[in-house]
Amino acid sequence: MAEVEETEVEETEVEETEETESASIDDAQSSRDDAYDDDDEDDEDDEEAYEEIEEPELTTDPRIEGLAYACAEAALDKKALDVLILDVRRLVSYTDYFILASGRNERQVAAIADAILQEMVQLGYRPTGREGLSQGLWGVLDYGDLVVHIFREDERERYSLERLWSDAPRLPLEVPAELRNERFSGESFEG
């Protein structure tokens, strides 16, 4: 009889433990559901706050845009193809403008780079960095607030920076028809 009583006591303890565990699980589930419901309310508050945030006004020195145009004009003077000025201020923190230009061959790429370097020196600016100019495939002139990329035509197609930076607004620039490539013409030159 003592064995029967012990078995009944054990069964009762097991049932009580299971009921306690079940109640704990239900409480935890209920708490988690409440937390998710609170998160939904927070998400709605976050969305409202996000809608109220305005983009900050860009405060670039207006001379920098003028320098970008000076670089583009110097490139055009050397018959550079597909000259573009991309405004990347909202996309990156390390520069304000990219100037893209192409040459038909290595010699023209070097001539375009030299013309830009000379123009910028006359304006009182020297590049903080120069890369790739000796090969004549893709040269970079880094002036801090603007970066000039000068490509040989086929290299520009390969790297397709226009596509990579397609979110960047393009500054209006009059490019003569004979210096435009069909791949880059149209809306891209309207600004």
The phi, psi pair for 103, rounded to 5°, reads -120, 155
Task: Answer yes or no: do 88 and 149 share one domain.
Answer: yes
**Higher per-residue pLDDT: 58 or 108:** 108
Alpha-carbon gap, residue 24 to 115, rounded angstroms = 77
pLDDT of 44 reads 58
CA terminus-to-terminus distance, the chain:
97
Domain end among 53, 70, 97: 53
Q: Smallest Cα–Cα separation from 113: which of 86, 89, 80, 67?
A: 80
pLDDT of 184 reads 45
Percent of the chain at pLDDT > 70 equals 60
Q: Dump pLDDT digits (tens) for 115-170.
A: 999 999 999 999 999 999 888 889 999 999 999 999 999 999 898 888 889 999 99
Alpha-carbon gap, residue 152 to 139, rounded angstroms = 9
Task: Answer yes or no: do 89 and 39 share one domain.
Answer: no
Task: Answer yes or no: do 69 and 150 share one domain.
Answer: yes
Alpha-carbon gap, residue 14 to 145, rounded angstroms = 74
Q: Dump pLDDT digits (tens) for 96-114.
A: 999 999 999 999 999 999 9
Q: Which domain holds residue 16?
A: 1-53
Confidence band of 55 (pLDDT split at 50, 70, 90): low
**Phi-psi region at 175: left, alpha or beta (left = phi > 0; alpha = psi -120 to 50):** beta
Cβ atoms 87, 98 nearer than 8 A = no
Task: Answer yes or no: do 46 and 97 share one domain.
Answer: no
| Total number of domains constituting the chain | 2
- Name residues whose C-beta falls within 8 Å of residue 74's C-beta, 6 or more positions apart in sequence: 112, 115, 116, 118, 119, 120
pTM of full prediction above 0.85:
no
Residue 186 has pLDDT above 80, yes or no: no
Task: Answer yes or no: do 32 and 92 share one domain.
Answer: no
Task: Answer yes or no: do 111 and 170 share one domain.
Answer: yes
Task: Answer yes or no: do 123 and 43 share one domain.
Answer: no
Residue 26 has pLDDT above 90, yes or no: no
**Higher per-residue pLDDT: 16 or 91:** 91
Q: Dump pLDDT digits (tens) for 31-40.
A: 555 555 555 5
Domain end among 13, 32, 53: 53
pLDDT of 11 reads 57
Residue 71 has pLDDT above 50, yes or no: yes
